Amino acid sequence: MGIASARPPLPEPRGPMSEALTASLRAEPGQVRDFAARPYLDACSEDAQLALYVCYELHYRGFRGVDDGWEWDPGLLTLRASLERAFVERLHDELGSVPSSAEQIGLLLAPSDGEGSASGYLQDKGQRWQIQEYLAARSLYHLKEADPQTWAIPRTHGEAQAVLVALQYDEYGGGRPERVHSRLFADMMAAWDLDAEYGAQVDAAPWEAMAVVNLMSMFGLHRAHRGALLGQFARAEIGSSPSSRRLVEAFRRHEVAEAGYLFYSEHVEADAVHEQLVRRGVLDALLREEPDLESDVAFGLAASGFTEAALAARLLDSWQVGVSAMHESLRVKDPVA
């Protein structure tokens, strides 16, 4: 692996919006093209989700050769706002009437055998190349795991904030760099012969993988969506332990080294505890203090479910007919590394 803070290169564009954006980012801030998102642009498309992903990455590590001044460039923020409005409108159209957070959490807590999920498929019949594709798609988030949710810390207070900080401390390895979850995920990718550098698989990942992490970034960057961010966090933690158990079984069936499944074996027990903490210590406390955030929490739960289901459908629809679910070929590990 390279330097932990290394910046990735700009990704390859996938349409006119992402092409105009990446071309502009190679110039000095303020030298922008027409950044108004076209009204006909499909929010759930390769072009739109990549453009939104690039906008958000400026708030994380940025890109090689791109001036940091772009992060708050007014023209770029105009584009981002247009893309966000289109994304939110599409989510509301898809979701319709959203059940309460309590109803959604109750359904998430019901026992499941993983049928219809990517983890269930991999457990039953996953092949090595499908595991690699799963890891590449997930790497867009897991190589920055916990970073989007950390934006919720200064936007919550009292009990909710205290419990959230404790949860995030675990996500960042409890003070041990080698146990940081993003590091464990990178080690796992390497064990499966994948390039584990931050951003290495962006060109390969489909738009659905970008939508999963774009949703978190959008919620995290807007104080108005702090409830939605914690709703997303709750869904992720509630589903993590059982899906991680299925993935450990799937991966070990291929006789990979321990590093090739340690990330998920860590999550089997840790997230069984985390889901209790995020439900009772974070969400319950938040809604006692700010009950008007209930609709936002419910929206975050439902919207996260939509993006996760879209990614699962992309993977399963492709795998079941024996074809790749990726946008482009995966980047593999350098054999001399």
User: Which pLDDT score, from 0 to 100, does residue 62 have?
Assistant: 98
CATH number of 101-319: 1.20.910.10
User: Which pLDDT score, from 0 to 100, does residue 67 have?
Assistant: 97
User: Which pLDDT score, from 0 to 100, does residue 31 have?
Assistant: 73
Question: Distance between CA atoms of 22 and 47, rounded to whole angstroms?
Answer: 12
User: Which pLDDT score, from 0 to 100, does residue 205 have?
Assistant: 98
Nearest to 43 by CA among 300, 309, 307: 307
Residue 241 CB partners (closer than 8 Å, separation 6+): 267, 268, 269, 271, 272, 275
User: Which pLDDT score, from 0 to 100, does residue 274 have?
Assistant: 82
User: Which pLDDT score, from 0 to 100, does residue 114 have?
Assistant: 87
Question: Distance between CA atoms of 324 and 185, rounded to whole angstroms?
Answer: 22
User: Which pLDDT score, from 0 to 100, does residue 337 have?
Assistant: 47
Strand-pair partners of 265: none
The pTM of this model reads 0.95
Per-domain residue ranges of the chain: 16-95, 101-319
User: Which pLDDT score, from 0 to 100, does residue 2 have?
Assistant: 46
- Encode the chain (337 residues) as per-residue pLDDT tens digits: 444 568 999 999 999 999 999 999 999 998 766 655 565 579 999 999 999 999 999 999 999 999 999 999 998 998 999 999 999 999 999 999 999 999 999 999 988 888 899 999 999 999 999 999 999 999 999 999 999 999 999 999 999 999 999 999 999 999 999 999 999 999 999 999 999 999 999 999 999 999 999 999 999 999 999 999 999 999 999 988 899 999 999 999 998 999 999 999 998 877 677 888 999 999 999 999 999 999 999 999 999 999 999 999 999 999 999 999 999 999 998 755 4
